[in-house]
Amino acid sequence: MTENTILKIENLNVSFKLNKKIFYILRDININIHKKEKIAIVGESGCGKTTLANTILLLNDEVITDYSGNLEFFSTKGCCKKNKYELIKQHKFLSKDEIKHIRGNHISIIFQDPFNALNPVVAVGKQIDEVILNHHKEYNKKEVYNSTIKLLEMVNLKEPELVYKKYPHQLSGGQIQRICIAIAIANKPEIIIADEPTTALDADLKDSILKMLKDLVDKETSALVLITHDISIIKNYVDYIFILYLGEIIEAGKTIQVFENPLHPYTQFLLSCYVDATKKGKKLPTLPYDPINLYDKNFIFKKCIFLNRCSKKIKKCETLKPEVFKIESQKVKCWLYE
Ligand SMILES: Nc1ncnc2c1ncn2[C@@H]1O[C@H](COP(=O)(O)OP(=O)(O)O)[C@@H](O)[C@H]1O
Ligand code: SF4
Ligand SMILES: [Mg+2]
């Protein structure tokens, strides 16, 4: 941790209690996010990416969720009395207003499905107005409207005055996601979490939306947490990558290093599936099917989480859970690097 750290996630565990069983969804998560840094959380569907985003924003269902570890947010905006929130330790004591203040003003999220993120019966401009007003009660009507128009321009929507009056169903998927990005940046949060922001969009739109998001994040000096199942889309947009596999970070490192020298067998697999011009026409690798129950404590806490799919396993892997090893700036949870 340095003086530029704005989010510190330390030994975080998140479990859900369902039908009298405990599902250990996230285990021993360690991530530091620094001011203006852009990171990606990458992993296949069901590995816990959205749960991690929801945990940072305290959006998990309180009734079924249990936490341990540390999740600390350090505010740099000077708008509230506190400059440090211990989100896991204090979440039960934070008032609704405090949580609302953190969400949107300090940390905001762009959801995977932009259509569900907006209210279908309210004009999109009004929805942006509302977010601005929530955090700028001192603004008059004209100031709010002008701020919204400026945001619509920033997300490259043409004829912003016309777009302001439209309802979500009158806009395309790309336009709606731009509105969601406008909402996320409206109050210049220190951290923007984008949970699969391009999954619902056509292929030709993905790159332009990600480029715009990166440029806006840079301009507003926010940090970005880009969540995706698709490692191929992030290379040009983030400084640091965390590979999540079934609830554990199995590799982390600078983007260039992970792409050039993936260490963990799972990261190597992910990158070997990355279709570029040189691989077109070639058969892509596959992994054997391996259903693991997230309530199976004997497997999850005692063995390598990738064991049954790993073609590089050694004897030790069968009996001991791997530690995290540091190879230059990369970290990898695998016995091959002991
Ligand atoms: N509300 C919930 N109730 C029960 N299980 C859930 C809930 N949300 C997520 N899960 C489970 O938690 C795991 C991680 O899910 P999720 O965080 O949505 O993964 P991802 O975003 O990587 O696809 C999955 O096994 C999923 O089935
Ligand atoms: S610890 Fe062993 S089983 Fe796990 S990824 Fe490394 S080599 Fe494979
Ligand atoms: Mg998800």
Position 284 scores a pLDDT of 77
Estimate the crossing angle of helix 203-219 against helix 173-185, to 10 degrees: 10
* Residue 198, burial from CB neighbour count under 10 angstroms (0-12, 13-18, 19+): buried
| Cα-to-chain-centroid distance, residue 2 | 21
Domains belonging to the chain, first-starting first, are 5-238 (3.40.50.300), 265-337 (no CATH)
> 3-state SS of 101-119?
HHHHHHEEEECCCHHHHCC
3-state SS class at 13: strand
Please, how many CA atoms are within 13 Å of residue 206, restricted to the half-sphere of its CB?
16
56 — alpha (psi -120 to 50), left (phi > 0) or beta? alpha
Q: Phi/psi at 23 (nearest 5 deg)?
A: -105, 120
Q: How far is the CA of 46 from the centre of ligand 1 (A)?
A: 6
CB 248 within 8 A of CB 306: no
The Cα-based distances of 219 to 2, 215, 222, 233, 280 in angstroms read: 23, 6, 8, 21, 36
The one-letter code for the residue type at 216 is: L
Smallest-distance ligand from the CA of 42: 1
Q: How far is the CA of 1 from the centre of ligand 3 (A)?
A: 27
Pocket of ligand 1 (CB under 6 A): 16, 18, 25, 43, 45-51, 61, 294
Position 278 scores a pLDDT of 63
Mutate to test the pocket of ligand 2, among 266, 311, 313, 323 (most ligand atoms within 8 A of CB): 313
Token duo for residue 198: 């391009």
Q: How far is the CA of 303 from the centre of ligand 2 (A)?
A: 9
3-state SS class at 217: helix
Beta bridge partners of 103: 107
The one-letter code for the residue type at 3 is: E
Q: Which ligand 2 atom sits closest to the C-alpha of 317?
A: 2
Q: How far is the CA of 110 from the centre of ligand 3 (A)?
A: 12
Q: Name 334's Cβ contacts closer than 8 Å, sequence gap at least 6.
A: 250, 251, 263, 264, 265, 304, 306, 322, 325
- Look at ligand 1, atom 24, and give the residue with the nearest C-alpha: 46
| Cα-to-chain-centroid distance, residue 303 | 26
Q: How far is the CA of 274 from the centre of ligand 2 (A)?
A: 21
Q: Considering the entire predicted model, what is its pTM?
A: 0.95
In 10 A of CB 197, how many CB atoms?
26
Q: How far is the CA of 273 from the centre of ligand 2 (A)?
A: 19
Q: Which ligand 2 atom sits closest to the C-alpha of 312?
A: 7
Q: What is the DSSP letter of 284?
A: P
- Mean pLDDT, contiguous 10-residue spans, the chain (338 residues): 89 96 98 96 96 96 95 88 86 86 91 89 97 91 97 95 97 93 94 92 86 91 94 93 98 97 96 72 80 92 95 94 96 98
Position 276 scores a pLDDT of 65
Position 148 scores a pLDDT of 98
Position 279 scores a pLDDT of 64
Position 275 scores a pLDDT of 64
Pocket of ligand 2 (CB under 6 A): 265, 304, 306-307, 310, 312-314, 317, 322, 334-336
- Look at ligand 1, atom 2, and give the residue with the nearest C-alpha: 16
Pairing of the two strands 240-245 and 38-42 = parallel
